[in-house]
Amino acid sequence: MTPAKPRLTVIDTDPGIDDAIGILMALASPDFTIAGIMTVAGNIGLETTTRNAGRLLAFAGRGDIPVFQGAAAPLSRVGPEPLNLHGEDGIGGVALPDPARLPESQHAVEWLADFLLGEPAGTVDVLALGPLTNLARLVLEQPEAARRIGRIIAMGGAIHEHGNVGPCSEFNLWADPEAAAVVVESGLPLVLIPLDVTRRVRATRDFVETLAASEKPMASMVASLIESYFEAATNRESRPLHDPCVMLYALAPELFRIEELRLCVDTGGSDAAGALAIDPEGSPVQVALGVDGSGALHLLARCLSAGSTSASIG
Ligand code: RIB
Ligand code: CA
């Protein structure tokens, strides 16, 4: 059987330690052709998320992939304060090189629209790892281009799980509820990867040690990133590998159980802002509600250990 042609992929991200793991996984895998990385404010401010995207590409020896700055703030609300858990540099203090090139001058949303209009409809996937402000602006400002997206695979939301920001809200949707509502209601082919599955994909100490022992720079770099992502030295498992689950779904959807749910997003002013609700009047969305956590970790390790990039020794 001929291998599937690598999918043209755009990553929309707020790196962020877990974003960084997902990005390195995608860069290490021949199944992704990364056309560009778009950045958004979220885990930390836009300048830092953009710098971190450039640092990850420099480490992976992929200075050929452009970085485009996107939204510095949500559509209509004040943006979130930086999350301490990603560290002052947003990347857990892990030793990464400086960016090899500056971000492009074109805004991410304008670039994505031009890119989508230049490629055959349905051939470009967007992997969304942060607040959905950039995608929402594309839907609102460039709807013809937005309709050409093949798939949006987005980490966000919580269905039956409690939130990680307030009782029901997950950070990416909470950070810009209006943007989340625009994307969910857009009718675009959206696969949502919520906390219901990402909380079941956590690295163990043994997993990290195996990666660290690898001769592959990508694997040992991810080991360092995960090491900085344990909640305490005594913890046997890392924080959830939220964003890598987006790449894992793109590579192996069979690891996930998907259901179509009709959803709406709370855009009110209470602590439920950004929360998802199942509503018969809501928009149909493919939602991952189950995952083979062990299979996901094995696939992550395989991608990183097979990593064929010219990654520098960080
Ligand atoms: O709730 C988890 C999400 O919020 C992840 O994307 C993490 O990087 C943060 O952006
Ligand atoms: Ca993220």
What is the tens place of the pLDDT at every residue in 52-76? 999 999 999 999 999 999 999 999 9
Nearest ligand 1 atom to the CA of 164 is 1
pLDDT at residue number 155 = 98
Among the listed residues 86, 107, 162, 242, the single catalytic one is: 242
In angstroms, the CA 175 to CA 274 distance is 7
Contact 256, 288 (CB under 8 A): yes
List, for residues 191-209, the tens digit of each pLDDT value: 999 999 999 999 999 999 9
List, for residues 289-301, the tens digit of each pLDDT value: 999 999 999 999 9
Query: What are the phi and psi torsion angles at 153 (to 5°)?
Result: -110, 115
pLDDT band at 1 (very low <50, low <70, confident <90, very high): very low
Query: What are the phi and psi torsion angles at 72 (to 5°)?
Result: -90, -10
The torsion of the CA quartet 186, 47, 79, 274, rounded to 10 degrees, works out to 40
5 pLDDT higher than 80: no
**Ligand 1 centroid from CA 19, angstroms:** 8
pLDDT band at 43 (very low <50, low <70, confident <90, very high): very high
Higher pLDDT, 213 or 166: 213
pLDDT at residue number 222 = 97
Show the beta-strand stretches assigned E in the chain: 7-13, 32-39, 67-69, 124-128, 149-155, 190-193, 202-204, 237-240, 256-265, 276-278, 283-291
What is the chain's Cα-based Rg? 18
pLDDT at residue number 277 = 96
List, for residues 236-271, the tens digit of each pLDDT value: 899 999 999 999 999 999 999 999 999 999 999 888
In angstroms, the CA 24 to CA 140 distance is 31
Region 102-109: mean pLDDT is 98
- Number of CB atoms found within 10 A of residue 205's CB: 14
Among 109, 98, 106, 150, which residue's Cα sits nearest to residue 132?
109
Domain ranges of the chain: 7-305
312 pLDDT higher than 80: no
C-alpha torsion sign, points 279, 281, 282, 286? positive
CA contacts within 13 A on the Cβ side of 255 = 22
Q: What percentage of the chain has pLDDT greater than the value 70?
A: 96
**Ligand 2 centroid from CA 1, angstroms:** 35
Is 298 considered catalytic here?
no
- Number of CB atoms found within 10 A of residue 104's CB: 13
Contact 16, 86 (CB under 8 A): yes
pLDDT band at 307 (very low <50, low <70, confident <90, very high): low
Pocket lined around ligand 1, Cβ cut-off 6 Å: 14, 16, 18-19, 42-43, 129-130, 155, 164, 170-172, 242-243
Ranges 86-95, 114-123, 156-165: which has the least confidence: 86-95
Contact 161, 195 (CB under 8 A): yes
pLDDT at residue number 309 = 52
Ion ligand 2, residue ranges at CB < 5 A: 14, 16, 19, 129-130, 243
**Ligand 2 centroid from CA 15, angstroms:** 6
pLDDT at residue number 86 = 86
Tell me which residue has tokens 């950004």: 274
Q: How high is the mean pLDDT of the chain? A: 94
Superfamily per CATH, domain 7-305 = Ribonucleoside hydrolase-like (3.90.245.10)
pLDDT at residue number 314 = 36
pLDDT at residue number 79 = 84
pLDDT band at 313 (very low <50, low <70, confident <90, very high): very low
Q: What is the DSSP string of 232-288?
A: STT-SEEEE-TTHHHHHHHH-GGGEEEEEEEEEE--SSSTTTT-EEE-TTSEEEEEE
Peptide bond just before 16 cis, omega within 30 deg: yes
310 pLDDT higher than 60: no
